Structure 1
């Protein structure tokens, strides 16, 4: 089926999911929209998150997408059920895939979750984990300093280490966890620093790989995969500063990308 996959995120974090989609589905075209102008979503009221998410969705629906990937954990937590009920296309979030992956990796069923204030307050990850295995013990922690740091382009070095260490200290002190879910798609951009702070004994889980696998499975089952032969042309939109978006995207995706700025959303 020659229609693109739509990916939405509050900023650059969803590029971690886009990268996996491009790797696992090399013939498929992506249209990515990052709402960098209004990022971060985590501290915003629920009603605002829902409004902004729908504005992004409506933008991509005009591009005739065949499946929607909500690559923002906060948006997934607050809008996934509604989107699935109201949209005529499949909608995939990042929370369930991340939870399943963590359960596969954990040996002692003691799992940590870090995310934005909104995601942590929603308790979406503890619910997802304990719906699968009620004996799992979950320690979750909001890390509100991570997203602004990533969006500004600080991904490593002394400043990044200091912020990550100070943010994760309450969780690190609970040294019984053996698995840590990066419950925000921005956080894999800080993965090496997070691993250094938490220690090699902690398995770090990001949901990108598992989410892309779920997209592939659903599109195969619904016969939505593109079966021709082509080099796909991906489109990336941002509502904010193109320069920062491009610099992070080119590093994370390891290739130049076509960024089409001026995504026309309703900006309040």
Structure 2
């Protein structure tokens, strides 16, 4: 295996860029390939079978790019497709639910843990299963926030409309107090300032995607796959199934990388 091979990241849209942002900090030597299926986002309302099929399409595309590790940077896809893909591929495959759950258990003082995510993630009860398995005393309060992803994908996350939607969506927690809240969708950290403002400064927000990069780093070392011989500037390649203009606008702003120029692809095609 060539340690210069890139790490692949897949997501339903731009949300996985929050994971890439953390990877840029923690893994400065690693080459990165990202694919966001923005044309078919959001995944949350879709049937599990369809999400699995879409996740496999993204996975096969990146396998053709010779990735050495796959990060499913999407909670919905992790919830329904991780185990199947993990068992099938010969390279390491990492999801975002387990790392986020571990971090929440470590952070909570009251064992009152909230989880917000897409309809698909919440319906799967994946966080509840992992959290209860790791911490039987934990009380889990889950809430689907289906309006959050469209706000981010349409680049409206800094608007008054976004502020209103976040406040209305999180009203549930006024009567269900938690001290720790898992952002169970990788789109949600882009809304973090608004979420924190509503929840209050005493509530610890857990970025499941950022926590995942710590696990990626550990596995790179464990499998002796870490790139320690980077002689030129690392490569970052971005693909989207939707608008490259919209993707680049969000990616440049979120990653603080002005040179990003994504490539449009239609899943299932051989060419990039």
Normalising by the residue count of structure 1, what TM-score does the alignment of the two structures yield?
0.97
Aligned to 2:138: 136
Aligned to 1:104: 106
SS class of match (1:154): coil
Rounded to whole Å, the distance in 2 between the matches of 1:132 and 1:91 is 21
SS class of match (2:35): strand
1:163-191 superposed Cα distances (whole Å, 9 cap, x missing partner):
0011111123212x100000000000000
Rounded to whole Å, the distance in 1 between the matches of 2:261 and 2:96 is 24
SS class of match (1:138): strand
Q: Which runs of 4+ in 1 moved over 6 A?
A: none
- Worse-superposed segment, 114-123 or 238-247: 238-247
Rounded to whole Å, the distance in 2 between the matches of 1:183 and 1:206 is 8
What are the within-5 Å matches in structure 2 for residues 10-25 of structure 1? 10-25=12-27
Rounded to whole Å, the distance in 1 between the matches of 2:261 and 2:90 is 27
The answer to whether the 8 Å contact 1:17/1:209 transfers is: yes
Aligned to 1:78: 80
Rounded to whole Å, the distance in 1 between the matches of 2:82 and 2:28 is 26
Q: CA deviation at 1:241?
A: 0.7
- Worse-superposed segment, 222-231 or 35-44: 222-231
Q: CA deviation at 1:257?
A: 4.0
Aligned to 1:216: 217
1:132-175 superposed Cα distances (whole Å, 9 cap, x missing partner):
01110000000000001110001123111100011111123212
Rounded to whole Å, the distance in 2 between the matches of 1:109 and 1:256 is 42
Report how many aligned residue pairs link the two structures.
Answer: 266
CA RMSD of aligned residues (A): 1.1
SS class of match (2:8): strand
Q: CA deviation at 1:122?
A: 0.2
Q: CA deviation at 1:244?
A: 1.3
Rounded to whole Å, the distance in 1 between the matches of 2:189 and 2:92 is 25
Rounded to whole Å, the distance in 2 between the matches of 1:173 and 1:241 is 40
Residue segments in structure 1 that go unaligned for 5+ positions in a row: none
What are the within-5 Å matches in structure 2 for residues 107-122 of structure 1? 107-122=109-124
Residue segments in structure 2 that go unaligned for 5+ positions in a row: none
Structure 2 vs 1, CA of residues 196 and 33 (structure 1 numbering), >3 Å: closer, same or farther? same
